[in-house]
Amino acid sequence: MGILAFVEDRPTPKAVYNWRVYTCAAIASFASCMIGYDSAFIGTTLALPSFTKEFNFAAMDPADLALTKANIVSVYQAGAFFGSFFAYASSYFLGRRKSLIIFATIFILGAGLMLGANGQRGLGLIIGGRVLAGIGVGGASNMVPIYISELAPPAVRGRLVGIYELGWQIGGLVGFWINYGLQETMAESHTQWLIPFAVQLIPAGLLLLGAFWIKESPRWLFIKGKRQQALANLCWIRNLPADDLYIVEELAAIDAQIEHERQHVGAGFWKPFAALKQRNVQWRFFLGGMLFLWQNGSGINAINYYSPTVFKSIGITGTSTGFLTTGIFGVVKTIVTIIWLLWLIDRLGRRKLLMIGATGGSLCMWFIGAYIKLSSSKAAKADGKLSSGGIAAIFFFYLWTAFYTPSWNGTPWVINSEMFSQNTRSLGQASAAANNWFWNFIISRFTPQMFLTMGYGVYFFFASLMLFSIPFVYFLIPETKSIPLERMDELFEIKPVPEAHGVMMTKLREEEEEFRSAAEGAGLTSMKAKNDEQAEYV
């Protein structure tokens, strides 16, 4: 099978895999460009000489400086934590599309506020602006994976949600390189450090404009009783007429799931909260939150936000050299993300990726920590060049990137976007996104202090957490690739967990054959599918 081949749960017309669904996913993923850029540019900006001079970092003692940097970085995550929950309310009442417009606007306001900072006014405008920007990206991080998963055909759902992760990496790539370019080509000035803050406005503006074009999620419209608009949007996205059997089947599955949720969860803003009393719902919320604990426990955000500090601990010296090394890190992440997006996520699957990534990544972290310990943190020679051991440590750092990026970087977002039932999906994604930003906040807030007090032990700490994630995934996370969203409840009921996917796919294929056999010659249409007794077979 080719790299772009699909593993389908049922026969799917080629028209379904059309430019519309990919374009909607790409436009929504400008939100992740915002997130990726913000996560990447701030670390190198804090190390930019023009920035450090403007705000007089040299006059601060190391503890105060570490605290100041931690505050600048971490208020963004704090805002994102609350933004994740705000998005649940906006999503319920206004829908996915309008929510994206709202949070893009909030982000733009925050980015604009940061541009007013200078040495005389102090860091207050930057900190306040990053809180608003955090609220914007927190809401977007809730909305975009849900929106894409609700548009996507099952066979390419991982790939399409993966576009969200690709946007993150493209934004990060620009963020990692921009200060290297400014350092090399522009004299130190107020404008030099202001440019990276201004660039935030580009992906946010593109998202705001694109959100006026994309279609609202048909599944959200069905829940709200807007059946005609929902059907029109679904047919537009699938590029099929309303009486096509594929649309009939999908409509029957959506209707059956909505009816099931109304009976077992109930309709209304507060009903998903009441559903948390159910053990099976609690379990998936727990799994979703834990995936982001393990993701942040890998050390990725310590590297994203404080990359100059990380490379200095390995032995990289000089501002430009540190920025260059950080930029290469961004290139590696982006290239591997493309491979993950096109092939790995929907072919190799979610479970295998997470376990392979954790194993390889942990080994790399153990090596880096051991090298720093054995070299007594003197990774560079007197002439500033890396020793052979330092070069090996840099190699293992990039190897860690190659293991981490196609596994824990984006896969938790994919799983969380698809594993919740229809009526709890928005709340579940809000919980997952909030967990991401909470653990992100913890790591970003305390990383400077960890490097000051733990040294090489920071790498051993992250290596240990990656090892602990392996049995968690193997025993508790079922494979979700190619499973329709409406069948996730059944998937999570199947035990043992490692065999759940195979059992579910066999069941789906048997039911598909039965449905099509019964539908042959019956003249099914999308208008009567809701009441058709064959819906139980989907």
* pLDDT tens, residue by residue, 192-213: 999 999 999 999 999 999 999 9
Distances (CA, A) of 86 to 44, 198, 426, 441, 527: 30, 26, 11, 18, 35
Residue 471 has pLDDT above 60, yes or no: yes
Q: What is the DSSP string of 434-471?
A: HHHHHHHHHHHHHHHHHHHHHTTHHHHHHHHHHHHHHH
Return the structure tokens found at 506: 């066999």
**Cα–Cα–Cα angle for 282, 283, 288, nearest 5°?**
100
Considering the domain 15-214 in this protein, what is its CATH number? 1.20.1250.20
User: What distance in Å separates the CA atoms of residue 281 and residue 290, rounded to the nearest whole number?
Assistant: 14
Mean pLDDT of 504-513: 86
* pLDDT tens, residue by residue, 403-412: 988 899 888 9
User: What distance in Å separates the CA atoms of residue 521 and residue 477, rounded to the nearest whole number?
Assistant: 41
| The two domains 15-214 and 275-478 share their CATH topology (first three levels equal) | yes
**Per-residue confidence (pLDDT) for residue 1, from 0 to 100:** 40
User: What distance in Å separates the CA atoms of residue 94 and residue 82, rounded to the nearest whole number?
Assistant: 18
Residue 182 has pLDDT above 80, yes or no: yes
Strand, coil or helix: 148: helix
Report the candidate in 529, 524, 16 with the shortest Cα–Cα distance to residue 234: 16
Residue 6 has pLDDT above 60, yes or no: no
* pLDDT tens, residue by residue, 256-272: 888 877 776 666 677 77
Confidence bin at 283 (pLDDT 50/70/90): very high
**Per-residue confidence (pLDDT) for residue 324, from 0 to 100:** 67
Confidence bin at 318 (pLDDT 50/70/90): low
Domain boundaries, the chain: 15-214, 217-268, 275-478, 507-536
Question: What is the 8-class DSSP label of residue 391?
Answer: H
Is residue 315 a contact partner of residue 386, using CB atoms and an 8 Å limit? yes
In the chain, % of residues over pLDDT 90? 34
Contacts of 472 (CB under 8 A, 6+ apart): 290, 294
More confident residue, 455 or 127: 127
Mean pLDDT of 2-14: 62
Distances (CA, A) of 492 to 10, 110, 512: 20, 40, 20
**Per-residue confidence (pLDDT) for residue 534, from 0 to 100:** 39
**Per-residue confidence (pLDDT) for residue 341, from 0 to 100:** 72
- 155: number of Cβ within 10 Å: 19
* pLDDT tens, residue by residue, 92-111: 899 999 999 999 999 999 99
Q: Is the dihedral of CA 87, 90, 93, 98 positive or negative?
A: negative
Mean pLDDT of 471-489: 91
Mean pLDDT of 265-287: 81
Residue 384 has pLDDT above 60, yes or no: no
Q: Determine which of 91-100, 310-319, 341-350 has the lowest per-residue pLDDT on average.
A: 310-319
Mean pLDDT of 166-182: 84
Distances (CA, A) of 327 to 305, 307, 441, 503: 13, 10, 23, 44
Residue 521 has pLDDT above 50, yes or no: yes
Mean pLDDT of 296-312: 73
**Per-residue confidence (pLDDT) for residue 529, from 0 to 100:** 44
- 506: number of Cβ within 10 Å: 10
Q: Determine which of 264-273, 334-343, 505-514 has the lowest per-residue pLDDT on average.
A: 264-273
More confident residue, 383 or 95: 95
Q: Which amino acid is at 176?
A: F
Cis peptide before 496 (omega within 30 of 0): yes
User: What distance in Å separates the CA atoms of residue 476 and residue 371, rounded to the nearest whole number?
Assistant: 34
**Per-residue confidence (pLDDT) for residue 231, from 0 to 100:** 94
Return the structure tokens found at 224: 């709200």
Contacts of 249 (CB under 8 A, 6+ apart): 10, 515, 529, 538
Contacts of 83 (CB under 8 A, 6+ apart): 103, 106, 134, 135, 136, 137, 138, 139, 140, 141, 142, 437
| CATH entry, 275-478, from 1.10.287.70, 1.20.1250.20, 3.50.50.60, 1.25.60.10 | 1.20.1250.20
Return the structure tokens found at 28: 């929504």
Mean pLDDT of 454-472: 91
* pLDDT tens, residue by residue, 414-446: 898 888 887 788 788 888 888 988 988 887 778
Contacts of 166 (CB under 8 A, 6+ apart): 29, 32, 334, 337, 338, 341
User: What distance in Å separates the CA atoms of residue 291 and residue 406, rounded to the nearest whole number?
Assistant: 15
Q: For 443, what's the count of Cα atoms within 13 Å in the CB-facing half-sphere? A: 27
Q: Note the maximum CA span of the chain.
A: 82
Is residue 230 a contact partner of residue 213, using CB atoms and an 8 Å limit? no
Confidence bin at 39 (pLDDT 50/70/90): confident
Is residue 182 a contact partner of residue 195, using CB atoms and an 8 Å limit? yes
**pTM metric for this prediction:** 0.74
Residues across the chain: 538
Is residue 149 a contact partner of residue 420, using CB atoms and an 8 Å limit? no
User: What distance in Å separates the CA atoms of residue 466 and residue 299, rounded to the nearest whole number?
Assistant: 9
**Per-residue confidence (pLDDT) for residue 379, from 0 to 100:** 46
- 27: number of Cβ within 10 Å: 21
Return the structure tokens found at 531: 């009441």
- 121: number of Cβ within 10 Å: 10
Helix axes 350-374, 457-476, angle to 10 degrees: 160
**Per-residue confidence (pLDDT) for residue 527, from 0 to 100:** 47
User: What distance in Å separates the CA atoms of residue 84 and residue 154, rounded to the nearest whole number?
Assistant: 25
* pLDDT tens, residue by residue, 131-172: 999 999 999 988 898 899 889 888 788 788 878 878 888 888
Is residue 115 a contact partner of residue 194, using CB atoms and an 8 Å limit? yes
* pLDDT tens, residue by residue, 207-239: 999 999 999 999 999 988 899 999 999 999 999
Residue 470 has pLDDT above 90, yes or no: yes
- 113: number of Cβ within 10 Å: 20
Average pLDDT over the chain reads 83
Return the structure tokens found at 55: 């705000």
**Per-residue confidence (pLDDT) for residue 537, from 0 to 100:** 34
Mean pLDDT of 487-509: 91
Is residue 183 a contact partner of residue 428, using CB atoms and an 8 Å limit? no
Return the structure tokens found at 317: 């010296």
Report the candidate in 489, 423, 435 with the shortest Cα–Cα distance to residue 92: 423
Residue 526 has pLDDT above 60, yes or no: no
**Per-residue confidence (pLDDT) for residue 4, from 0 to 100:** 46
